[in-house]
Homo-oligomer: A and B are copies of this chain.
Amino acid sequence: MQRESALELADLGQQLRVDAVRAAAAANSGHPTSSMSAADLAAVLLARHLRYDFAQPDHPGNDRLIFSKGHASPLLYAMYRAVGVVDDEQLLTFRRRDSLLEGHPTPRLPWVDVATGSLGQGLPVGVGMALAGKRLEQAPYRVWVLSGDSEMAEGSVWEAVEHAAYEHLDNLTLIIDVNRLGQRGPTRHGWDLDAYARRLQAFGWHTIEIDGHDVDAVDAAFAEAASTVAQPTAIIARTHKGRGVARVEDQEGQHGKPLPDADAAIEELGGPRFVRVEVTPPPTARPRRTADGGHLELPRFDLGDSVATRDAYGQALAALGSAREDVVALDGEVGDSTRTEFFAKDHPERYFECYIAEQQLVAAAVGFQTRGYLPFASTFAAFLTRAHDFVRMAAVSRADINLVGSHAGVSIGQDGPSQMGLEDLAMFRSVHGSTVLYPCDANQTAQLVAAMAELEGVRYLRTGRGEAPVIYGPDEEFRPGGSKVLRSTDQDRLTVVAAGVTVHEALRAGALLDREGIAVRIIDLYSVKPVDADTLRAAAEATGCLVTVEDHRVEGGIGDAVAEAFADGRPVPRLVRLGVRDMPASASPEEQLHLAGIDAESIAAAVRLLVERAVVR
């Protein structure tokens, strides 16, 4: 159909409902009623407003469609059937093993940019895409986000609402499917569309309130959204959950389950049909940005100088930005602390201030990478915990993002525990496919920043606040999965495994112990994940005991990472772990390291004890 009548649009809406019901019935699970409420919105968008070439999902002018209410996946897949990229047989594989049609959409499907299913994430990610389109690509695509009404309670949505209005993202449209029913019952605002409109307007959005089942009204609203200038638009649509099937329509207790009698429901919806939709092709647009490998001139630091790893990060990032035009930097209003200010100064057009909104910070990074950019998002390591769910979902999205957490550990000193990243290694190690790096000196930091850029998945770099001696030359090489043996003799009684600030403490401890005739091997485990199992195993074989020392809680960090290297059934060396076990308060950095038992004196004392008790050979 080309210029569809309202009747034809309504018919398409019914087809989408039928297919959603059929998919859920075949799976015997899923969310048909949540799909049915948004079916008319989806029909009009698909037939009249979305500009997309389904044969070329990478076309740079394609609009973006994010189903933030990812549980309405049967509706999305019904749309794919209507445009002919999913056939009926495939539709009925919904939620089965090996099907691409997962319970919630993921980018295993070529038309899906990001995984959804954790509510309140679609709009924040859409803000990143819209920012890329407006401020970097100057591309004509629009970003359409379909949201449920329940998820408007998520704070992350309001971070995005604020950010989108502030940046005047008129290429972004939020469609709220106000079906008034959440999972367990009514939402806070029910069908009070004004409640949503008032809030969004106050933040600077253009709003349109409609009956989401009136296809003419829906059509007009989409047109108005597309023509609105300098403001993002929210279309607030009153809908009925389970629309079209009396037995479930607007009923509680019908969330997330197939309809009680699918055949009767399909009959009531007018029976199966196959209206094939011709989607408007995308406007022409420049090719999407791809990595362009200019010459990277990393900063070089002199041996023996004192440089904070956060400073080295900031300088390396600025250099990377000079070499590669696809690099973008984002920060959570702490660029003077994380040192992304260096990048901001050199590349202001590719620097994005996200203010104190860490969920939006990470979501924008995820949005940027869907457009081929290489984002580095930075804040204090402690505050990246605020975005844990976004990091988790970034992995489901197969997103390639770089996250950098500064002010790691008790060694920040006086500011106290609220500002100390002490759980960040645990968080990032548990993320699927992640890389976790923790440099101890400036040259190592610079090399690892360059290496991060070449990886896939979620990559985390942990930086420190205080200055640290430069112990590696600028041409020393480091790689994810590597480590450095800093001291090694045939007489080593055990091996100290350190990273970051504790490397320097371990070296001092080594010197102290030398005077007592106790030789220790020292490994700089700058790659926490993947971990250099070979080197650790060699050290285990040679010395029989590994002592890990980390400025992080004893759970989930370096101690656990080292143990994991021996989790394949081979003989395991003796293991001892030094790390943060108590709740710190304020104190100087040196005092903090001592109180936590991870400074040179504590390490030396622990080694002495192991020697005295004959735990080590």
- Chain A contributes a number of interface residues (CB within 8 A of B) equal to 116
Given A183-B337, A382-B392, A556-B556, A154 and B155 contact (CB-CB distance below 8 Å): yes
Q: Which of chain B's residues have a CB closer than 8 A to the CB of A117? A: 415-419
CA distance A341 to B162 in the complex (A): 34
Q: Does A184 contact B (CB under 8 A)?
A: yes
Indicate which residue in B30, B153, B203, B393 contacts A159 across the interface (CB closer than 8 Å).
Answer: B153
Q: Smallest distance from the beta carbon of A309 to chain B beta carbons, Å?
A: 19
A569 and B575 contacting across the interface, CB-CB below 8 Å? yes
Contact A184 B385 (CB under 8 A): no
User: Is A184 a contact partner of B333 (Cβ separation < 8 A)?
Assistant: yes
Given known pairs A418-B393, A588-B97, the reply for A355 and B188 (CB within 8 Å) is yes
Q: Which chain B residues lie closer than 8 Å to A269 at the CB level?
A: none
Beta-carbon contacts of A417-453 to B below 8 Å, as 1s and 0s? Answer: 1110011001101111100000000000000000000
Indicate if the CB atoms of B583 and A432 lie closer than 8 Å: yes
Whether B153 contacts A106 by the Cβ 8 Å rule is: no
With contacts A188-B162, A389-B383 taken as known, whether A395 is within 8 angstroms of B583 at the C-beta atoms is: yes
Residues facing B in A95-153 (CB within 8 A) are 95-99, 101-104, 106, 108, 115-120, 150-151, 153
For residue A236, give the distance in angstroms from its CB to the closest CB of chain B: 13
Q: Which residues of B contact A104 (CB under 8 A)?
A: 415-416, 418-419
Chain B residues whose C-beta falls within 8 Å of the C-beta of A154 in the assembled complex: 155, 159, 356-357, 386
1/0 per residue, CB under 8 A from B, across A353-366: the answer is: 00111111000000
Tell yes or no: A591 within 8 A of B by CB.
Answer: yes
A398 to B417 CA separation, bound complex (whole angstroms): 12
A423-B430, A556-B429 are contacts. A334–B118 as well, Cβ < 8 Å?
no
Query: When each residue 153-183 of chain A gets 1 if its CB lies under 8 Å from chain B and 0 otherwise, what string results?
Result: 1111111001000100000000000000011
* Interface stretch (choices A322-330, A481-489, A519-527, A560-568): A560-568
Complex interface: chain B residues within 8 A of A615 (CB): 569-570
Q: In this assembly, does A226 line the interface, its C-beta being within 8 Å of a C-beta of chain B?
A: no
Known: A199-B202, A199-B203, A576-B569. A184 touches B115 (CB 8 A): no
Q: In the assembled complex, which residues on chain B have CB atoms less than 8 Å from the CB atom of A29?
A: 413-415
Query: Is A473 in contact with chain B by the CB < 8 A criterion?
Result: no
A434 CB → nearest B CB, Å: 9
Closest to A414 in B: B95
Cα distance A118–B381 when bound, in Å? 12
Q: A96-B586, A386-B388 are in contact. Are A184 and B336 (CB under 8 A)?
A: yes
Question: For the complex, what is the distance from the CA of A70 to the CA of B418, rounded to whole Å?
Answer: 9
CB closest residue in chain B, given A73: B416
Question: Known contacts A388-B427, A569-B610: does B415 contact A356 (CB below 8 Å)?
Answer: no
Query: Is A459 at the interface (CB under 8 A from chain B)?
Result: no
How far does the Cβ of A545 sit from chain B's closest Cβ, in whole Å?
Answer: 7
Asked if A586 and B103 make an inter-chain contact with CB atoms under 8 angstroms apart, the answer reads yes
Chain B residues with CB under 8 Å of A393's CB are 418
> Which of B166, B556, B573, B587 lies in contact with A560, CB distance below 8 A?
B556
Contact partners of A337 in chain B: CB under 8 A = 183-184
A41 to B150, CA, bound (A): 37
Whether a CB of chain B sits under 8 angstroms from the CB of A571 is yes
Q: Which of A40-58 contact B (CB under 8 A)?
A: none
Nearest CB on B from A595, distance (A): 8
A429 to B432, Cβ gap below 8 A? Answer: no
Cβ contact within 8 Å between B427 and A430:
yes
Inter-chain contacts of A556 with B (CB < 8 A): 426, 429-430, 555-556, 560
* Contact between B563 and A555, CB atoms less than 8 A apart: no
Give the residues in chain B near A335, CB-CB below 8 Å: 184
Contacts known (A202-B199, A393-B418); A359 close to B426, Cβ less than 8 A: no
Q: Does A350 contact B (CB under 8 A)?
A: no
List residues of chain B with CB within 8 A of the CB of A199. 199, 202-203
Tell whether A559 is near chain B: CB-to-CB under 8 Å. Answer: yes
Q: How far is the CA of A70 from the CA of B357 in the complex (A)?
A: 17
Residues of chain B lying within 8 A (CB to CB) of residue A162: 153, 188
Could you give, for residues 576-601 of chain A, a 1 whenever the CB lies within 8 Å of some chain B CB and a 0 otherwise? 11000011011110010001000000
Closest-by-CB residue of B relative to A119 is B356
Partner of A555, one of B99, B183, B529: B529
Q: Are A433 and B583 neighbours in the complex by a CB distance under 8 Å?
A: yes
- Complex Cα distance, B360 from A202, in Å, reads 22
CB closest chain-B residue, reference A613: B569
A571 to B540, CA, bound (A): 13
**For the complex, is A187 an interface residue (Cβ under 8 Å from B)?**
yes
With both beta carbons as reference points, the residue of chain B lying nearest to A97 in the complex is identified as B587
Whole-angstrom distance between the alpha carbons of A369 and B344 in the complex?
A: 43
A198 interfacial by beta-carbon distance below 8 Å: yes
Closest to A426 in B: B430
CA distance A431 to B426 in the complex (A): 10
A273 adjacent to chain B (CB < 8 Å): no
A284 interface residue (CB < 8 Å to B): no
Q: From residue A561, how far is it (CB to closest CB) to chain B in Å? A: 8
* Docked-complex contact A383 and B118, CB < 8 angstroms: yes
Q: How far is the CB of A395 from chain B (nearest CB, A)?
A: 7
Given contacts A385-B388, A426-B556, contact A576 B583 (CB under 8 A): no
- Please, could you name 17 A-B residue pairs with CB atoms under 8 Å apart, sorted by A? A95-B414, A99-B585, A115-B418, A118-B418, A150-B356, A153-B333, A154-B356, A155-B359, A202-B202, A358-B389, A392-B423, A430-B555, A430-B557, A529-B555, A555-B561, A560-B560, A568-B576
7 nearest A-B pairs in the assembled complex, by CB-CB distance: A155-B155, A117-B418, A563-B563, A426-B430, A202-B202, A158-B158, A97-B587
10 other A-B residue contacts (CB within 8 Å) besides A104-B416, A199-B203: A153-B356, A154-B356, A162-B188, A184-B333, A184-B335, A386-B389, A396-B417, A426-B427, A567-B575, A569-B610
